[in-house]
Structure 1
Amino acid sequence: MDAHVGPATVAGRVDAPPSKSYTHRALLAAGYGEGTVVVDPLHSADPAATGRAVEAFGGSVAWDDDAGEARVTGFDGRPETPADVIDCANSGTTMRLTAAAGALADGLVVLTGDESLRSRPQGPLLAAVDSLGGRAEATRKNGQAPLVVGDTLDGGQVSIPGDVSSQFVTALLMAGAVTPDGVEIELETALKSAPYVEITRELLADFGVETSRTAEGFAVPGGQRYAADRYAVPGDFSSISYPLAAGAVAADEEPVVIAGARPSAQGDTAIVRVLREMGGDVSWDRDAGELTVGRTSLSGVEVSVADTPDLLPTLAVLGAVADGDTRIVDAEHVRYKETDRVAAMAASLDRLGASVTEESDALIVHGDDSELVGATVDGRGDHRLVMALAVAGLVADGETTVRGAEHVEVSFPGFFETLGQLGADVDVRE
């Protein structure tokens, strides 16, 4: 499907979608226990994949979209050996978190996914599971899915690089809590995307699971039980970044107001700080959970995405309409997402008329030399590229066509409806 976006101003009030990161973790945490009602979950393609994995392990997930709930019956710390392969579709979080969960099974668990997911690195997690007493291997011996895990995870001490994916740490903490020995994680390199581990630790505490920071990394005692009757998912700041950016570059005389923006451990709340540093007119009522943003002239900044890789596409679009250069640094790990987001945003913005310099670890957008003009750009199967490029279309001269519009279903199923609600000129069709 293609999204056709014309230049427009936006204004109005919209609700933030629930957090994808929290929903994944809440569904699996509920699975590790006897069961939980997850309130305000994100029912989209990626969390649905995690829900199917919980069911494959012997639990159940009943989505009730009308009530805004997912009622989870858990497998109580010991996953069954699935009757079939677990298809994680396009969800890297599902694969990594359930690879560690699957290693707790007595038998063997096979995990696969789509072509994009089968190209993403899993080797460090496989090595960690193997060293903790489980079986873990890639069927093609290349550190990529399909994966085979199982034979019961004992726990113990393990070292793992921190600069590939923080999801490896999350997976080991979640599974380690129900192992006999617990897990102590030593980070071999500095941890990238560290706030995502804090999301995990915050959620685990809500489920009664103890974790700790150590001098070397993290630790989780074994023999623990997951328990929470209800768990409420906060709004997703990765997804909030798109209507927030739309307001910053295209708001009418009235602002854009985003409800459901409650404070949490999400690193992507940094979008509020960065937008203010660029000169954006944004206020955050933390008690009410509301963001208000108006259009102002923006100035380029230097910003690290070491902990916020999902913000790179949004920041690149903001840089294209800002004065001066916007330097997005510490971005090498962002190349290993659903697509190489550094290269993809460089190519797409160039096609739209922006001046961009791509480096191995950085993306530099030269706002003074950029004048966005409508063009056809490819979302490359990446939901975050699709949404960021649609925001760019609001301020491009002429119509912008974004291919692959259906991929917003991964994290923000109502994204284009939300843009339309704000007054955007957007038409999605085959």
Structure 2
Amino acid sequence: MSNFVTSNSGSLRGTIKVPGDKSISHRSIMLGSIADGVTRVSGFLEGEDSLATLNAFKEMGVNIERDGSSVVIHGVGMRGLKKPKNPLNLGNSGTSIRLMSGLLSAQEFDSELCGDESLSTRPMGRVIKPLREMGADISGNDSKPPLTIIGGKKLTAIEYTLPVASAQIKSCLLLAGLYSEGMTSIIENGISRDHTERMLKGFGYDVTTSNNKISVLGGGSLKGCNIEVPSDISSAAFFMVAGCISKNSSIILNSVNINPTRTGVIEILKLMGGNIQLLNQRLQAGELIADIKVSSSNLKGIQIPENLVPLAIDEFPVLFVAASCADGETVLTGAKELRVKESDRIQVMADGLNSLGIKNEVLEDGIRITGGEFTKQTSSILSHHDHRISMAFAIASVRSNFDIEIEGVDNVKTSFPNFVELANSIGMKIKQEG
């Protein structure tokens, strides 16, 4: 187990490019594998989560060549996947296991999906239930991984209203819908990221979107294409907050994905007074990207609008750090989803903030944080092996007058393998030990 030891860094300056978008990297492998022809991917995220998806499809007979962040996928078509010899180990990746549940429920062969200790605690009932309604034979250990899928089942299309705004549930059912008889329709009560819909269209598959309903007709096919993966806004968020809370700082983040279903972190920071500019906006492979300039800011506490919560669900750990450095009180509600991520991110962040002397109150579906000064913790902060917790508290060091030690940071490489290198290149001081 390795730890971060972080020191105060003063001002931050520089231009950097964070790694490729994890959501798009996952989906490029999945759709490229079941497409006809060759799919070429550039900017692929070389993190453990994305590589777990890549390796799973290789185990199902797909020829995938990788040279760093360049990937070539030789698609096997909709019915070309083969039964894996062993259970598919998806490590820490909730995206992989939920999306692949839909895809594999429609195959002729049996499969088993498993993961690490953290993934094995994450709830899967919300994909199991609708997949069973479609005719899938899928079961878990008390609705948690490992998941067992019995193949050879004929799936029937359904119209399903999502109980919570979730791109993972939506994408799982859309992938199952590709193989189902009839029109599968997903109804959303809130906005969630739409990378699956965009990418399906890029592969030539017809997706109908009308208001809050997304539909696919089963029985079609996908055609291989070229995909350029933009930088991940979830990874860029750490440096957005770092730039806002550090003094005399100016950072530019190049080529970041600003898909409108993902920009909650930008909107929330701007509401708090964050000095953030979007430069050189352009379209790249169907996704909107921009260079993001962040400068030192005088943040103020806010009531976070609930309509922005699903648009920033992965960025809240570092937004809690921003709230800790803001003037006044920040209140988050409507974010119960944070309790079933890689860790209970509400409680784990609250515990870490308590150890840094930041007053907070845990709510059932959120948190209340009163901005203040960091005070020296009596012991190291426990990340609970959650990559976003580890990186969030590393960012806190730019406003501390003492070293902050964070335990259990190995999982940072699941989403951001060069985090320490990039952070130090703009002036931060992070050592990884152990």
Classify 1:164/1:284 alpha carbon distance in 2 versus 1 (closer, same or farther; 3 Å).
closer
Cα distance, 1:323 vs. partner? 0.2
Q: CA RMSD in A?
A: 1.9
Aligned equivalents of 2:363 and 2:410: distance in 1?
30
SS at structure 2 position matched to 1:302: coil
| Residues 64 and 70 in structure 1, CA contact (< 8 A), matched pair in contact too | yes
- The reply on whether 1:351 has 2:355 as its aligned counterpart is yes
Aligned to 1:221: 217
Aligned equivalents of 2:266 and 2:128: distance in 1?
36
Of 130, 134, 137, the match for 1:135: 137
Structure 2: which amino acid aligns with 1:324? G
Give me the TM-score of the superposition, normalised by structure 2.
0.91
Cα distance, 1:110 vs. partner? 0.8
- Partner deviation per Cα, 1:218-256 (whole Å, 9 max, x = no partner): 3211112111321111111111000111111114x3511
Aligned equivalents of 1:84 and 1:371: distance in 2?
48
Cα distance, 1:298 vs. partner? 0.9
| Residues 300 and 323 in structure 1, CA contact (< 8 A), matched pair in contact too | yes
Cα distance, 1:158 vs. partner? 4.5
- Partner deviation per Cα, 1:334-371 (whole Å, 9 max, x = no partner): 10000000001010111111111100011111014x43
Aligned to 2:272: 278
Cα distance, 1:99 vs. partner? 1.1
| Residues 386 and 402 in structure 1, CA contact (< 8 A), matched pair in contact too | yes
Aligned to 2:286: none
Aligned equivalents of 1:158 and 1:123: distance in 2?
18
Structure 2: which amino acid aligns with 1:257? I
Classify 1:301/1:372 alpha carbon distance in 2 versus 1 (closer, same or farther; 3 Å).
farther
Structure 1: which amino acid aligns with 2:84? P
| Residues 312 and 328 in structure 1, CA contact (< 8 A), matched pair in contact too | no
Aligned equivalents of 1:153 and 1:18: distance in 2?
36
Cα distance, 1:171 vs. partner? 1.2
- Partner deviation per Cα, 1:280-338 (whole Å, 9 max, x = no partner): 22211042721111112110112132332111101100000100001122111110000
| Residues 155 and 180 in structure 2, CA contact (< 8 A), matched pair in contact too | yes
Aligned to 2:146: 146
5+ residue gaps, structure 1: none
Structure 2: which amino acid aligns with 1:315? L
Classify 1:307/1:283 alpha carbon distance in 2 versus 1 (closer, same or farther; 3 Å).
closer
Cα distance, 1:265 vs. partner? 4.2
Aligned to 1:163: 164
Of 354, 363, 387, the match for 2:391: 387
SS at structure 2 position matched to 1:235: coil
| Residues 262 and 287 in structure 1, CA contact (< 8 A), matched pair in contact too | no
Aligned to 2:331: 327
Aligned equivalents of 1:336 and 1:111: distance in 2?
19
| Residues 14 and 250 in structure 2, CA contact (< 8 A), matched pair in contact too | yes
Aligned equivalents of 2:389 and 2:83: distance in 1?
36
Structure 1: which amino acid aligns with 2:397? G
Cα distance, 1:405 vs. partner? 2.0
- The reply on whether 1:263 has 2:258 as its aligned counterpart is yes
Cα distance, 1:214 vs. partner? 5.2
5+ residue gaps, structure 2: 283-289
Cα distance, 1:26 vs. partner? 1.1
Cα distance, 1:216 vs. partner? 7.2
Percent of aligned pairs with the same amino acid: 25
Aligned equivalents of 2:392 and 2:376: distance in 1?
15
| Residues 262 and 286 in structure 1, CA contact (< 8 A), matched pair in contact too | no
Cα distance, 1:179 vs. partner? 3.3
Structure 2: which amino acid aligns with 1:250? S
SS at structure 2 position matched to 1:13: strand
Q: 1:27-426 alignment to 2 at 5 Å?
A: 27-34=29-36, 35-65=38-68, 68-78=69-79, 79-138=81-140, 140=141, 142-149=142-149, 150-159=151-160, 161-163=162-164, 165-186=166-187, 190-191=189-190, 194-196=191-193, 198-213=194-209, 217-251=213-247, 253-267=248-262, 269-287=263-281, 289-303=290-304, 304=306, 305-368=309-372, 370-373=373-376, 376-426=380-430
Cα distance, 1:144 vs. partner? 1.0
| Residues 232 and 256 in structure 2, CA contact (< 8 A), matched pair in contact too | yes
| Residues 248 and 296 in structure 1, CA contact (< 8 A), matched pair in contact too | yes
SS at structure 1 position matched to 2:98: helix
